[in-house]
Amino acid sequence: MTDELGSGAGAGRGGRHAVVIGGSVAGLLAARVLADHAERVTVVERDRFPEEAEPRAGVPQGRHLHVLLEGGQRALEQLLPGVMDELLADGAPRVGMPEDVVQWQAGGWYHRTAAMVHLVTASRPLVEQAIRRRVLADPRVTAVQATEAVGLVGDAARVRGVLVRERGSGRGGEPRPIAADLVVDASGRGSRASRWLAALGAEPPHEETIDTGLAYASRLYRHDRHGEETDASGYFVVPNPHQTYSGVALPVEDGRFLVTLSGLRGEEPPADEAAFEEFAGRLPHPVLRDWLAKAEPVSPVYGFRDTANVRRRYDRPGRRPAGFLVTGDALCAFNPIYGQGMAVAAMAAVVLRDALADRRTPTTSRVQRALLRASRQAWDISAGADRKMPGAVGDAARTSPLERPVDWYLARLQRRVGSDPVVGSAFRPVLSLIKPPAALFAPRVARAVLFGPEPEALRHPPLWREPAGG
């Protein structure tokens, strides 16, 4: 059995056809890459794309807070040059860390020193719209909307297409095949690919999970007096094993703020509008609760609970067909509280581009391994943090004895991020996926972590920037 990918990579387009299941960030960016290696690319999307930047049912977390980490911004620019300027022109806020945020983490307030990295905090619909506008303008890419994938065509040796059915066609709607040389599953964390592979006689991947039971609720606000109370862009209270509540208020487009509150299993934030603001009183300081009391809500409260870390190990040996790849949340889904999903989707698309450009004939297994490696750093960050949270369950939730010294070191490091510029300048680029974790163990950083004094936490939230040199 040949494992050749089947996308026509390295040999021109050659009349090849690629199908991408799912039209969100991961799917659209995969389509953009595949358009350079296939004559036609078809994106199968179960929703109808909105004309404006509006939430859609197929992105259940689309009404909640999203950030685009700097690693994702750089990847997007590689794939769609100029798209970040377009996003900013559309009103996407750009927030410098730690300068622009009042942040509580690891038991204390962070100093608001000069920005080391930047987040783009636009709403998820605005980001998707910017990407969709660029990708679907390519005549090689076609979107088939209001259509869901219900299976694969082929056998355990090779996938040759996808079965689709129009949504709203009723129970009598018969699935129809779309032939393809390559099928990419970018259908999200609810992917049914394991079931489809089993139906072909192939082996589904092993799933690794870590679930803290975290749930969150979000609501849009306006705050006309925000600038009178702080020169920060927003607020960020980060949970830890001893303080498990989180609260974030960050700007989105159109002068609004998106506020997200979260708690673990049994301590979930309410969807009731009055109780939502009361829940903010559980945070370790009343600053966000007081902010909410003066703000004007402009949307209902929306809840979300599907937050487990799930990694599907397609990289491991198994009887799986050529011509089928998995990317995005369908491959590796993170607890959304860490804001990594869109960045990893973009970074995976860059990896796909590079793998298809390899002078060697690309194989399904080699490209799939590369796609999983693109998510490894984000997985280590989110899964590593969630393992320490009380009540975490799942087959990947245990900490091994070999990991305990590293956890001890990282706990010391995090207590110093907010006050030690040496530690902070190493930590934030790693968290933003622009430097590898090895940067946290560089000699200069290790000296500060192991031998530097325990910092004295700020007693009050830094509502105003510190004077230069302060």
Q: Where are the alpha helices (DSSP H) in 139-189?
A: none
Plot region of 38 (φ>0 → left; ψ -120 to 50 → alpha; else → beta) = beta
Separation CA 316–CA 319 (nearest Å):
10
pLDDT score recorded for residue 10: 39
Start-to-end CA span in the chain (Å): 66
A 10 A CB-CB count for 438 gives 9
pLDDT score recorded for residue 9: 46
Q: Tell me the domain boundaries of the chain.
A: 17-66+128-209+307-382, 213-304, 401-451
pLDDT score recorded for residue 401: 85
CATH number of 17-66+128-209+307-382: 3.50.50.60
C-alpha R_g of the chain: 23
Fold of 213-304: Alpha-Beta Plaits (3.30.70)
Contact indicator for 429, 117 with CB cutoff of 8 Å? yes
- Report CA-CA distances (Å) from 160 to 125, 137, 172: 32, 27, 25
Determine if the pTM surpasses 0.85. yes
Q: Which two tokens stand for residue 234?
A: 């927003």
Question: What is the secondary structure of 7-47 as a DSSP string?
Answer: S-TTS--TT-EEEEE--SHHHHHHHHHHTTTSSEEEEE-SS
Separation CA 240–CA 259 (nearest Å):
19
Query: Phi, psi at residue 304, to the nearest 5°?
Result: -155, 135
Instruction: Give per-residue pLDDT as tens, 268-322.
Output: 999 898 899 999 999 999 999 999 999 999 999 999 999 999 999 999 999 999 9
Separation CA 315–CA 319 (nearest Å):
11
Separation CA 132–CA 53 (nearest Å):
10
pLDDT score recorded for residue 169: 59
Instruction: Give per-residue pLDDT as tens, 435-458.
Output: 999 999 999 999 999 999 888 878
For 196-226, give one letter per residue: b (16+ CB within 10 A) or e: bbeebebeebeebbbbbbbbbbbbbbebeeb
A 10 A CB-CB count for 133 gives 15
pLDDT score recorded for residue 1: 35
Q: Which two tokens stand for residue 13?
A: 């387009």
> Strand 215-222 relative to strand 296-297: parallel, antiparallel, unpaired?
antiparallel
Q: Which two tokens stand for residue 316?
A: 């491991």
Residues (pLDDT < 70) of the chain are 1-2, 6-14, 169-172, 468-470
